[in-house]
Structure 1
Amino acid sequence: MNPAETIELTILMPCLNEARTVSRCIAQAQGYLDRSGVSGEVLVADNGSTDGSRDLATRAGARVVEVPERGYGAAITAGIAAARGRFVIMGDADESYDFSHLDDFVGSLRQGVDLVMGNRFRGGIAPGAMPFLHKYLGNPVLSFVGRLFFRVPIGDFHCGLRGFSREAIKGLGLITPGMEFASEMIAKAALAGLRIGEVPTTLRPDGRGRPSHLRTWRDGWRHLRFLLLYCPRWLFLYPGLALFLGGLAGTFVLQRGPFNIASFGFDIHSMLFMAGAVILGAQLVSLALLTTWTAVLSGIVPEPPWLRRSKGLVSLEFGIIASLTIITLGFVWSLALFFQWRGTGYGVLIPGQLMREAIPAVALMIVGAQGAATSFFAAALKACWESLGGALRRG
């Protein structure tokens, strides 16, 4: 019989020079398996330890898999691939997490939750267990951003103790090798529509007796960068729409003449900036659409409902027609200005009058050209992806 069919749970510990703590963590995990009656194993994914951690883990009764690629994410990915359990509960081998109390994780997994996160803020953080900046700034801010971006009810995005269905997580195609792996797992699980839950857990001061592998600002930025890249709505779409609509409203108002608010006056100079906001906003919206389109083609995210509903409009031909219409409007407007100038005998132009008409005309032509370029690029992406898929199928 395949061992994977007889084991319910793998308790996975990434390890890098944890000689002082790894044996005690393994003993806790084995004690939990013995007490609960859960059929399982303890697996240590060693990430290049040089302090004897591998030998200590083996003597303590764990199965050890060596991971040559450095990085937290690389160790966890290799551990998941080597796990034999139907479920996996992962946690650091530094005694910061208690492997002897995993009942809530296992219970949630048995109820069909695909990813169960621990919440240290609900379960309790012992004094000295989490640096001040992490506790009051980094974790709360990044967890809020994660909830906002991915609409998941997770209060502690970066808890290292978490459980999951091995097959469900393997299907996400997790790739990041570093600390941002923790965010990638939740983001992709949310985008894939997996069922995500949360249980309280505790955090204790680690027993490693050396500085943490975590680097506050570097790893915090890597987490935030990952969240932004996987949520083009907040990175591109919402800022783009705000710029586009705000600039459009400002351009419309100032095209009719100067506008005053209290002692502040707005005229053609402000109108130029409003038109710039329209152009930049249109570009950001285009990037949001292209990012989403790329993610859908590559299978990273499922096809969003709005894209399914607008299949008839999402085509190169429609994009070209719409873009040419906008370009033509701007060109005709500019041509009308030329004929007005010719009607005056090509005399001296009055900038205040000319620019009030020329700025929106030029903005229309630029936005139309952007739309055409976006349509062609989206079509090229689709063609390339279809060609790649055909080549892979033939291979």
Structure 2
Amino acid sequence: MLPCLNEADALPWVLARVPAGWRALVVDNGSTDGSADIARALGATVVHEPRRGFGAACHAGLTAATADVVCFCDCDASLDPAQLVPFVNEVRAGGADLVLGRRRPQRRGTWPAHARAGNLALTRILRRRTGLRLHDLGPLRAARREALLALGLTDRRSGYPLQMVVRAADAGWRIAEHDVSYLPRTGASKVTGTWRGTWQAVRDMSRVLAEAPVAEGTPR
């Protein structure tokens, strides 16, 4: 699943790196730059989600997907979808129920200081809340589709990735984290590219961390 909002310049690079035999599902979240047409022309399946929000786009993709194991990846060329191959293998082999990518910047300035600080604060709170010793809440991840749907994720904004991890932890999932290369994104960030965007994301995620534990969604 590739949530997309005005990523016309990045799409060719991203879709060219989707592993052979995988289905690229681009969820257009109201783009005005022709992203949907470009994605379709490059062979991707396009899902339209008019309700704005990162979580809304991700969940629309999850609902539309049909594969047993599904993956999430940003559509801004900051992450290479090919890095998901070992994630999928680990889930299929039963080594983990949810595999996350720990972003490792490849160039100076790739990860703005305010975004990095917000991520660090949230992972520390997450550790206190769940006991998970994660270092990142990045978007590159893989899990089984039916199990994800069973988590009953409700956040449709920036808190969606964190809610997934929190509810998975509450349900006793085995969660793994592996390093992935993090590149300078193409175009301007819609979430963490500014202090305002980062603050909104932290607010959304803090709201998720305040939720009471939910004991559901145990993988089958």
Correspondence for 1:127: 108
Structure 2, gaps ≥5 residues long: none
Corresponding residue for 1:223? Answer: 205
Give, in angstroms, the shift of residue 125 of structure 1.
Answer: 4.5
- Matched ranges for 1:86-105 at <5 A: 86-105=68-87
Residue 51, structure 1, aligned to residue 33, structure 2: yes
SS of match in other structure, 2:204? helix
In structure 2, distance between residues paired with 1:230 and 1:57: 39
2:178 pairs with one of 176, 181, 199: 199
1:117/1:154 contact within 8 Å kept: no
> Structure 2 residue aligned with 1:153, among 133, 136, 141?
133
Q: Please say if residues 95 and 205 of structure 1, whose CA atoms lie closer than 8 Å, have aligned partners that are also in contact.
A: yes
Q: Which has the larger radius of gyration?
A: 1
- 1:225 Cα deviation after fit: 2.4
How many positions carry a matched residue from both structures? 211
Counterpart in the other structure of 1:23: 12
Q: State how far apart, in whole Å, the 2-side matches of 1:212 and 1:49 are.
A: 12
More helix by share: 1
Tell me if the contact between 2:88 and 2:143 (Cα under 8 Å) persists in the aligned partners: no
Uncovered stretches (5+) of structure 1, i.e. residues with no partner: 1-11, 34-38, 232-299, 303-395
Aligned to 2:119: 139
Instruction: Tell me the equivalent position of 1:289.
Output: none
How far 1:50 moved relative to its partner? 1.1
Which deviations, in whole Å up to 9, do the C-alpha atoms of 1:140-191 show, x marking residues without a partner?
11111101211223221x2011111111101101111100101100011111
Other structure's SS at 1:186 match: helix
Q: Distance in 2 between matches of 1:45 and 1:132?
A: 29
- Is the CA contact 1:187–1:230 (under 8 Å) kept in the aligned structure 2? no
SS at match of 1:229: coil
Rounded to whole Å, the distance in 2 between the matches of 1:160 and 1:130 is 14
Work out the CA distance in 2 between the residues paired with 1:221 and 1:175. 16
- Alignment RMSD: 1.5
Alignment of 1:157-168 (within 5 A): 158-168=137-147
- Post-superposition Cα deviations, 1:5-28, rounded to whole Å, max 9, x if no partner, equal xxxxxxx10001111111221111
TM score, norm. by length of structure 1: 0.51
Identity %: 36
For 2:190 and 2:110, the matched residues in 1 are separated by: 11
In structure 1, distance between residues paired with 2:211 and 2:83: 35
Write the letter of the residue equivalent to 2:71.
I
- Residue aligned with 1:200, SS: strand
Q: How does 1:331-346 map to 2 (within 5 A)?
A: none
* Deviation digits for residues 306-325 of structure 1 (CA, Å, limit 9, x no counterpart): xxxxxxxxxxxxxxxxxxxx
Matching of residue 118 in structure 1 with residue 101 in structure 2: yes
1:213 counterpart = 2:191: yes
Per-residue displacement from partner, 1:322-376 (whole Å, max 9, x unpaired)? xxxxxxxxxxxxxxxxxxxxxxxxxxxxxxxxxxxxxxxxxxxxxxxxxxxxxxx
Deviation at 1:124, TM superposition (A): 4.0
Give the Cα–Cα distance (whole angstroms) in 1 for the partners of residues 2 and 157 of structure 2.
15
Which one-letter code corresponds to 1:184 in the other structure? Q
CA distance in structure 1 between the aligned counterparts of 2:106 and 2:209, rounded to whole angstroms? 25
Task: Report if aligned partners of 1:108, 1:197 keep a CA contact under 8 Å in 2.
Answer: no
Counterpart of 1:69 in structure 2 is: 51
| Amino acid of the structure 1 residue aligned with 2:45 | R
Higher RCO (CA 8 Å, separation ≥ 6 residues)? 2
Deviation at 1:211, TM superposition (A): 4.3
